[in-house]
A and B are shown apart, each in its own frame.
Chain A
Amino acid sequence: MNHTILMSILILSPFIGFLINGFRYKKHNYMVAGSIATAAVFISFISAVLLVADVLGMPAENRRILVSFFEWVGVGNLKVDAAFVVDQISAIMILIITGVGSLIHLFSISYMHHDKGVAKYFAYLNLFIFNMLLLVLGSNLLVMFVGWEGVGLCSYLLIGFWFTDKEKAAAGMKAFITNRVGDAAFLLGMFILFLTFGTLNFAELNALAPTTAEASWLGAVTLGTLFLFIGATGKSAQIPLYVWLPDAMAGPTPVSALIHAATMVTAGVYMIVRLNPLFVMAPNTMAVIAIIGAATAVMAATIGMTQWDIKKVLAYSTVSQLGYMFLACGVGAFGAAMFHLMTHAFFKALMFLGSGSVIHAMHEEQDIRKMGGLKKYMPITHFTFVLGWLAIIGMPPFAGFFSKDEILWQSFSSPYGHPALWAAGALGATLTAFYMTRLMALTFWGQSRVPKNTHPHESDAMMTIPLIVLGILSVIGGWIGIPHVIGEVFGDIPNVWEHWLHPLIREIPIQSEGHHDASLEWTFMAISVGLAAVSAIVAFQMYVRKPGSSEKVADALGPVYKAIYHKYFVDEAYFGVIINPLVRFSRNLWFYVDVNFIDKCTYWVSDVVKGGGSLVRSMQTGNMQQYAMYIGIGLVFVLSILLMR
């Protein structure tokens, strides 16, 4: 079929779903609303598949479908088309978004069936999909930015979906405002890039990117990419702007799965990969990205170890996994980043949905201390959750293993890499294994701490089918990116992934010193897996074999544990250092400038106008004869002028 039509279907079908559900937003029939929304997303999934098939059919060098609908902005030399492009990168993204998206929609139908504003919910969800598609399909930064803002809006709407609860609404606002900070930086980056290269189009930008690395900190490319990266930290919840994501768990669980695990939060990674030629040429930026990524990975993991809310744990794990992705970007392993992005989308969505299923079963109970032993109540959820667990702690041959291992190896071996980075990554992996096992243990294993009045039960098919599908994906998802070293062992399995992304990935300018041989890679692989396994076993021991031992450890750690438990007091610090002073400043601004100066000026103007008006109004008595008199006087006036001439 024609690409234009396919593209329009792909983009518009969720939007139409949004319109339909949006217009019937007062309806309570969750089945109708859900089917509409799911169908909309599924349709766009199909068209996405068709498009990707076309892309596959193309020659490897220029796999690119560009559909330009119209010239959107044409100011001076700023020419922005409403153009959408499907290439190797966005192909993956649209598949994830629409595929996982439709699964999550399906899940939501059953999950939200008790909710009043279900139609509204699905409308928001569809709107999100639409914006996300804009984001990933946009052929230039501006269209991408539209999507960027749009997903921010939808995330705000959906986090605060139960806005009657004050702190949920507050969480929504927090997310929105934090994103604003990032978006400002993103805009600045856009401006810098436009000033430097005179275009916002990805293809042109990548073509114009310098061929030699930019040494200085203040070079255009470095600054621009840095600002863009800050924008990415906002959207993708990296230090220092990660604080909103844990609170974002206030939203419905499928939303957390879709927006705050699978798709939206990966937008930053996607953006960096999309512009990798630029980033590669700014080693300083790359260093920053790598460090921040590694730091986030470790820190979030540590916090994750101490949380009691099932969704909070998952949220922090998301943050740390995103940290991995940024680490990968930072060391120039963009392919690995995308790879991990995909696998993470699978297993993290799976785990969120699983947690949703659990919460559903526990009647909106999210505290894992009140769970445990759910294994026998909800086997399917448990089984799929196990798959996700194995994937995330990087057990071969599950999806997570390949992607994470790729990242770790690259963080050591790549020219931008560094042993310290590798160490951080390995530590993060270990911690991840620990807290995920802890989660599993407290939720599903051990003896039940379920309150007497709640009777957990397995969820219905509409919730379990997505779990199963995602479970399968998180098992096999990684097999398309099997490293060479393993591939050689199993009779030379090709690394499809690398070949796939290769045309779009710019080579790192500086050459790596020396060449690492396979044995080293094997060792690292073994080390990371081993560490993960060990920490998993430890966690299993602590939480299943002898429960309560964890408390001893916590007491032993004392203040450190406190600090970690309170998330390093980051929120408090932000409040003390930034937010409260800002609020005070703005209040003064409001009082002294706005009220006492600007308002006074406007009042003065309005008073003048009013006075004039009342003067003129006195002429309007409604007495027709007076009006006639005015006409006559005017006539005389005009005639006299005419006669004087």
Chain B
Amino acid sequence: MRAVKVEHMLSTDIITHVGLNHYLVLSALLFVTGMAGVLIRRNVIVLMMSIELMLNAVNISFVAFSKYLDKLDGQVLVFFVMTIAAAEAAVGLAIAVSIFKRYKEVNIRFFEHLKG
């Protein structure tokens, strides 16, 4: 809440009138957070979670657009994204499990063995 107050001094408008670009900025930040996770974490499963985070950030922007452009297509796309994400998670986890079976650890570096 304090953060909100601080911004209160700067300008009220940007706080009180929540518009499309608020959501977009939020989704951008979330996306970047996920990207950071993908880049710097080592645990494969955490990597996948970060990817989920990125996907959801995109979902936010989809839904926001679908509201502000008054079209439902965005939400349909969110559907698709969710499905893909679920599939990706399933496969990723299966691979992680098989990696774990061998190395008793799920470090991303074990995937370097897959390099051709």
Residues of A at the B interface (CB closer than 8 Å) are: 620-625, 628-629, 632
Contacts and interface: CB of A to CB of B under 8 A. Distances in A.
Contacts of A625: 38-40, 108
B35 A624 contact: no
Nearest to A632: B35
Nearest to A625: B39
Interface residues of B, number: 11
B114 interface: yes
B38 to A, nearest CB: 5
Nearest to B36: A632
Contact of A622 (B35, B39, B40, B115): B115
Contacts of A628: 35, 38-39
A628 B47 CA distance: 11
B38 A620 contact: no
Nearest to A621: B112
Contacts of B35: 628, 632
B111 interface: yes
Contacts of B5: none
B109 interface: yes
B39 A620 contact: no
Contacts of A624: 108, 111
A629 B109 CA distance: 15
B41 to A, nearest CB: 8
19 contacts: A620-B115, A621-B115, A622-B111, A622-B113, A622-B114, A622-B115, A623-B108, A623-B109, A623-B112, A624-B108, A624-B111, A625-B38, A625-B39, A625-B40, A628-B35, A628-B38, A628-B39, A629-B39, A632-B39
Interface of B: 35, 38-40, 108-109, 111-115
A99 B103 CA distance: 78
A516 B28 CA distance: 111
A632 B39 CA distance: 9
Contacts of B109: 623
A550 B84 CA distance: 101
Contacts of A621: 112, 115
B108 A622 contact: no
B110 to A, nearest CB: 11
A619 to B, nearest CB: 12
Contacts of B112: 621-623
What are the 4 tightest A-B residue pairs by CB atom distance, in nearest-first order? A622-B115, A622-B112, A628-B38, A625-B39
A142 to B, nearest CB: 49
Nearest to B116: A622
Contacts of B39: 625, 628-629, 632
A19 B57 CA distance: 65
A624 B107 CA distance: 12
Nearest to B111: A624
A636 to B, nearest CB: 11
A460 B108 CA distance: 81
Nearest to B51: A628
B36 to A, nearest CB: 9
A88 to B, nearest CB: 68
Given A621-B112, A625-B39, 20 more contacts: A621-B115, A622-B111, A622-B112, A622-B113, A622-B114, A622-B115, A623-B108, A623-B109, A623-B112, A624-B108, A624-B111, A625-B38, A625-B40, A625-B108, A628-B35, A628-B38, A628-B39, A629-B39, A632-B35, A632-B39
Most buried by B among A621, A625, A628: A625
A606 B59 CA distance: 49
B65 to A, nearest CB: 19
A628 B34 CA distance: 12
A186 B39 CA distance: 71
A623 B40 CA distance: 12
B10 to A, nearest CB: 24
B21 to A, nearest CB: 16
A42 B111 CA distance: 68
B111 to A, nearest CB: 6
Contacts of A623: 108-109, 112
A629 B35 CA distance: 9
A632 B111 CA distance: 20
Contacts of A620: 115
Nearest to B112: A622
A571 to B, nearest CB: 59
A224 B26 CA distance: 85
Contacts of A632: 35, 39
Contacts of B113: 622
Contacts of A629: 39
Nearest to B41: A625
B88 to A, nearest CB: 14
A621 B114 CA distance: 11
A621 B111 CA distance: 11
Nearest to B38: A628
Contacts of B38: 625, 628
A625 B42 CA distance: 9
A629 B112 CA distance: 16
Contacts of B115: 620-622
Nearest to B32: A632
Contacts of A622: 111-115
B71 to A, nearest CB: 24
A181 B22 CA distance: 85
Contacts of B108: 623-625
A624 B114 CA distance: 10
A210 B40 CA distance: 88
B99 to A, nearest CB: 13
A59 B106 CA distance: 92
A99 B65 CA distance: 86
A288 to B, nearest CB: 68
Nearest to A622: B115
Contacts of B40: 625
B7 to A, nearest CB: 24
Nearest to B113: A622
B115 to A, nearest CB: 3
A628 B113 CA distance: 17
A622 B113 CA distance: 8
A627 to B, nearest CB: 10
> Which of A620, A621, A622, A629 has its CB near the most chain B CB atoms (within 10 A)?
A622
